[in-house]
Amino acid sequence: MSDRIFVGRQPILDINGNIYAYEILFRNAEKNVAEIDDNLSATSSVLLHLLQNFGIETLLGSKKGFINIDESVIDEDIIALLPADKTVLEILETTKVTDDLVNKIKGYGKQNYSFALDDFIFTESHAETFRPLFGDVSFIKVDIRSVSKMQIIKNMDSLKAMNVRLLAEKVENRDEFEFCKKLGFEYFQGYYFAKPLVVSAKKGIDPAVAGVISLINILRDEDSTMEFIAREMKNYPAINLNLLKFINSSSFFLRADITSIKHAAALLGRNNLSKWLTLLLYASKGSMDPCENPLMQTAHERASTMEKIADKSCRDLREKAFLTGLMSLLDVILESPFEAFLDQFNVSTDIKEAVLGSENRLGKLLKLAIMLERNEIDEAMTLLREFNLTLADAAEVRMESFVTKDKGLLG
C-alpha cells in the first residue's frame, strides 16, 4: 500500500444548502497513473493509513463522512477503528448480502454506527437482495442519473415508507435539486450549487456587491494610501462591519480581535485583505462560515489548490493563482456571465482570461484544480504531467487545501 493516497471529498448538502457531510473517495497515488481497484479490498489499508497519518478531523472537521464499503471491508473488522458518530458506512450496490453480513451490520448498529444503501435501483431483484438490511440503514442514496424521473416519482411512496433519510446523488443543476426537494429528498450530492442560475448579461450588480468590488479595487491599487482606504470604508458601514465580523470569526484563528480595516490591513497585508473581501462575496449566497457554505468553501479550496500547485511548479503565478481560483465562481454569486462584470475588477488580463476559459497557464491551473476537486483523476493526469507533478503531489496539495473548523482559512 502506498504511503500516498489521493483523498477526495464531495460535499453532501442539506435542504437549506448547508454542508451536512462529505463522501470520502480514495485513489491510489503510488504510481503516476490513476488507478482504482475494481473492489474495495484495499479500503481497509487505506482507512488505517488515513487514521494513522492524518486523523479523521483533517478530512471532516465537524461533519460526518460517508465511506464506501462492501463485504470485504466488513469482514476485516476495520470499521471498529472509525468513530461511530463521525461516519456513515455506505454499502455499495455490488455488495454480497449474506446472513453473516446482516448479523455483523446489526452488531455495528448496536454500537451506534450508521449505514446507507448506495445507488438504490428500482427493480424487484435489487430490492429483494437488500431487503434484509432495510431495517438497519439510515440513508438510501438514489443516483438520479441512472433512473428516470417517472421511476423516482413512482417509487417515492415505497422509499418514504422505509422510514429512512433520502439522499439524491449526481444532482447537477438547480432544476434537478428543486425536483428532488419537492419529492421529499432531504440531502443532495452533486455540483449543482456551483452552477449559475439562468443568467442575463443585462442583470445589474447589487449595490452592496458593487461596493465590495470597489473596495477590492482600492485595496489592489498600489497608489492608494491607508488613509484613503479608511475614508472609503466609511462609505460602506455594512461591508465594514461584515468584513470585521468575518475576519474575527473562528475561520481565521487570529490571536487578537481586529478592531478596524486599517488594523486588518496592517496584520494581514493589503493583498490578503482584498482576497478575504472577495471571499466575503460568497456570504451573500449563504452562511459566513466556510464549513457550512459550500460555495465559499469550494472557492477557497480551489484557490488554495491552485496556489499550492503553483508553489510546486510555477512560483511566479502563486499570487495570481489564488486570486483566479477565488474569482472562478463569482458568476454563480453575481448571477451574470463573467463577460458582464469582469472588467469591473482591477485584476490582470491573464486572470480574466483564465476564468473565461483560456488555455493560458492560469487557465490550465484552474482546469486542473477543478478536476482534482471533482476527483476526475484520469482527466487530470495530462495536466499534472504538464506541470511536472505526480498524483502523489496532487494528493498532498488537496489534503492541505481542505477547509475545516480546526484549520481555518489562514491554515
Q: How far apart are CA 210 and CA 205, in angstroms?
A: 6
The answer to whether 398 and 372 are in contact (CB under 8 A) is yes
Weakest-pLDDT range from 165-169, 285-289, 311-315, 394-398: 285-289
pLDDT band for position 279 (cuts 50, 70, 90)? confident
Q: 307: Cβ–Cβ under 8 A, 6 or more apart, which residues?
A: 318, 319, 321, 322, 325
Q: How far apart are CA 217 and CA 215, in angstroms?
A: 5
CA-closest candidate to residue 29, choices 403, 397, 407, 401 = 397
Weakest-pLDDT range from 152-161, 241-250, 273-282: 241-250
Exposed, middle or buried by CB within 10 Å (0-12, 13-18, 19+), for 272?
middle
pLDDT band for position 277 (cuts 50, 70, 90)? confident
Measuring CA to CA, how many Å separate 70 from each of 52, 78, 121, 339, 389?
22, 12, 17, 47, 33
136 vs 218, which has greater pLDDT?
Answer: 136
Is residue 292 in a domain? yes
* H or E element that contains 75: helix 71-75
C-alpha cell at 4: 500516498
Residue span of the structural domain in which 323 resides: 207-401
Q: What is the pLDDT of residue 411?
A: 47
C-alpha cell at 240: 465594514
Q: How far apart are CA 325 and CA 52, in angstroms?
A: 31
pLDDT band for position 150 (cuts 50, 70, 90)? very high
C-alpha cell at 219: 485595496
Judge whether residue 212 has pLDDT over 50.
yes
C-alpha cell at 235: 462609505
318-355 burial, b at 16+ Cβ within 10 Å, e below that, comes to eebbbbbbbbbbbbbbbbbebebbbeebebeeebbbbb
Q: What is the pLDDT of residue 20?
A: 96
Is residue 150 in a domain? yes
C-alpha cell at 254: 487570529
Q: How far apart are CA 403 and CA 408, in angstroms?
A: 6
Is residue 411 in a domain? no
Q: What is the pLDDT of residues 303-356, one digit of tens each?
A: 999 999 999 999 999 989 999 999 999 988 888 888 888 888 888 999 999 999
Q: Do residues 178 and 228 share a domain?
A: no
Q: Do residues 172 and 252 share a domain?
A: no
Q: How far apart are CA 394 and CA 115, in angstroms?
A: 30
105-120 burial, b at 16+ Cβ within 10 Å, e below that, comes to beebbeeebbbbbbbb
Beta bridge partners of 165: 139
CA-closest candidate to residue 278, choices 179, 232, 346 = 346
Q: What is the mean pLDDT of residues 204-224?
A: 80
Q: Do residues 143 and 280 share a domain?
A: no
Q: Do residues 362 and 314 share a domain?
A: yes
The answer to whether 126 and 93 are in contact (CB under 8 A) is yes
Q: Do residues 102 and 24 share a domain?
A: yes
Q: Do residues 133 and 238 share a domain?
A: no
- When divided into structural domains, the chain yields a total of 2
Q: Do residues 150 and 285 share a domain?
A: no
Q: What is the pLDDT of residue 240?
A: 74
Q: What is the pLDDT of residue 253?
A: 62
Q: Do residues 213 and 185 share a domain?
A: no
Q: What is the pLDDT of residue 35?
A: 46
pLDDT band for position 30 (cuts 50, 70, 90)? low
Is residue 73 in a domain? yes
Q: 204: Cβ–Cβ under 8 A, 6 or more apart, which residues?
A: none
Is residue 409 in a domain? no
Q: Do residues 218 and 367 share a domain?
A: yes
The answer to whether 343 and 371 are in contact (CB under 8 A) is no
Domain final residue, candidates 171, 193, 215: 193
Q: Do residues 223 and 185 share a domain?
A: no
Q: What is the mean pLDDT of residues 198-206?
A: 54
Q: What is the pLDDT of residue 256?
A: 65
Q: What is the pLDDT of residues 41-89, one digit of tens each?
A: 556 666 776 676 667 777 888 899 999 888 888 887 778 888 899 999 9
Q: Do residues 255 and 168 share a domain?
A: no
Domain final residue, candidates 193, 221, 249: 193
Angle at which helices 377-386 and 391-401 pack, to 10 degrees? Answer: 110
What is the separation, in whole angstroms, between the first and last Cα of the chain? Answer: 29
Exposed, middle or buried by CB within 10 Å (0-12, 13-18, 19+), for 103?
exposed
Domain final residue, candidates 134, 164, 193: 193
- CATH code at 304? 1.10.3210.10
Q: Do residues 84 and 211 share a domain?
A: no
Distance of CA 267 to the CA centre of its chain: 29
Q: What is the mean pLDDT of residues 376-395?
A: 93
Is residue 95 in a domain? yes
pLDDT band for position 197 (cuts 50, 70, 90)? low
The rounded percent of the chain whose pLDDT value lies above 70 is 86
Is residue 410 in a domain? no
Q: What is the pLDDT of residue 251?
A: 59
CA-closest candidate to residue 372, choices 402, 346, 394, 403 = 394
pLDDT band for position 32 (cuts 50, 70, 90)? very low
Is residue 296 in a domain? yes
- CATH code at 32? 3.20.20.450
Helices then strands, counting H and E runs in the chain, come out as: 20, 8
Beta bridge partners of 289: none
Judge whether residue 38 has pLDDT over 80.
no
> SS3 of 117, please?
strand
Q: What is the mean pLDDT of residues 192-200?
A: 68
Q: How far apart are CA 273 and CA 217, in angstroms?
A: 11
